[in-house]
Amino acid sequence: MGKQKKVDSKEAGLEIGLHFFKFFLKTEYLHYGYFKNLETDISNLAKAQEQYANYLLSSIPEDVKTILDVGCGSGKMAETLLEKGYKVDAVAPGNLLSNYVKEKIGDRIELFNCRFQDLVTSKKYDMVMFSESFQYIHIKDAMEGAINFTREGGYIMIADFFKTDAPGKSMLGGGHKYSEWLEVKPNFKLETIKEEDITEETAPTIDLVSQLSTEVLQPIWRVVFALAEDRFPLILKFVKWKYKKKLAKLDDKHFSGQRNGKNFKIYKKYMFYLFKKQ
């Protein structure tokens, strides 16, 4: 087994994304955008993320007063829920994002600084919510935990993307296998209140990420490389030799233009679920 890293790279990526998007696009949400009636343009990303939040909010049943926000990211969704009058607790693993959440809303929520799989509390909530955090947790752990922390007659909300069985190699990572999910879902004996495929509305997010990678990050990356090659030729030669495979993979993944909305619709399925505990 590999050595446990002190700073998780996914968590670091989310924190970098948060500062970048907060500064340039004035958004703190770390989920996809919901592009219904919105043009695919970077200037619309914040609005689309707000529409995503509103889509989730509009699906919360009336008898819900307390919510556990699993994988709360920057805490923006939890803050929005607080503003709507809900009593909210949140789960955040790692230290990077949870420090941010503590500063932002730490006095208004109970923040469980651990992985959802490790959460210990006797509290039961009217609703347990996974806003794009379901894919990070093994399905069985996520579902059994959610059922355990939901009161009788309460709800579980899941909004996240899954991997399809489409043939070929996808440059897009993440998501549980949709076919596996369909196989195990009936085991959890929940009533499905709402189920919707929102792949079409969320896919434009990936077109924007692709645009950002090829039109902003790639040129910056090239300039940095050219500068380094000029100033530190020997070091760069070593780096290129040592990390040949990693650099090629990075190029393929981020700058080949293959991570786009069209491929997202082939290899991913973005689903929304609202379940009721019997």
Ligand X SMILES: C[S@@+](CC[C@H](N)C(=O)[O-])C[C@H]1O[C@@H](n2cnc3c(N)ncnc32)[C@H](O)[C@@H]1O
Q: How far is the CB of 249 from ligand X (least distance, A)?
A: 22
| Number of neighbours of residue 115 by Cβ within 10 angstroms | 17
Answer yes or no: are the C-beta atoms of 156 and 68 closer than 8 Å: no
Q: How many residues does the chain have?
A: 278
Among 55, 45, 3, residue whose Cα is nearest residue 25: 45
Amino acid letter, residue 65: K
Nearer to ligand X, 180 or 243 (CB): 180
Does position 128 interact with ligand X (CB under 6 A)? The reply is no
For residues 26-45, which are near ligand X according to CB under 6 A?
29-31
For residues 66-85, which are near ligand X according to CB under 6 A?
70-73, 76-77
Q: Of the candidates 133, 150, 202, 263, which one interacts with ligand X according to CB under 6 A?
A: 133
Q: How far is the CB of 28 from ligand X (least distance, A)?
A: 8
CA 250 to chain centre: 20
Q: How many helices (H) and strands (E) does the chain have?
A: 12, 8
Does position 269 interact with ligand X (CB under 6 A)? The reply is no
Q: How far is the CB of 242 from ligand X (least distance, A)?
A: 30
Q: Of the candidates 15, 89, 126, 132, which one interacts with ligand X according to CB under 6 A?
A: 132
Which residue stretches of 128-176 are H helix? 139-149
Nearer to ligand X, 5 or 231 (CB): 5
Nearer to ligand X, 116 or 275 (CB): 116
Q: What distance in Å separates the CA atoms of residue 137 and residue 121, rounded to the nearest whole number?
A: 18
Max Cα–Cα distance, the chain, nearest Å? 66
Residue whose token pair is 């949400």: 29
Contact string 91-120 vs ligand X (x = CB under 6 A): xxxx--x-----------------xxx---
The kind and range of the H/E element at 87 are: strand 87-91
Q: Of the candidates 51, 80, 131, 199, which one interacts with ligand X according to CB under 6 A?
A: 131
Q: How far is the CB of 159 from ligand X (least distance, A)?
A: 8
| Residues at the site binding ligand X, with contacts judged by CB under 6 A | 11, 14, 29-31, 70-73, 76-77, 91-94, 97, 115-117, 131-133, 136-137
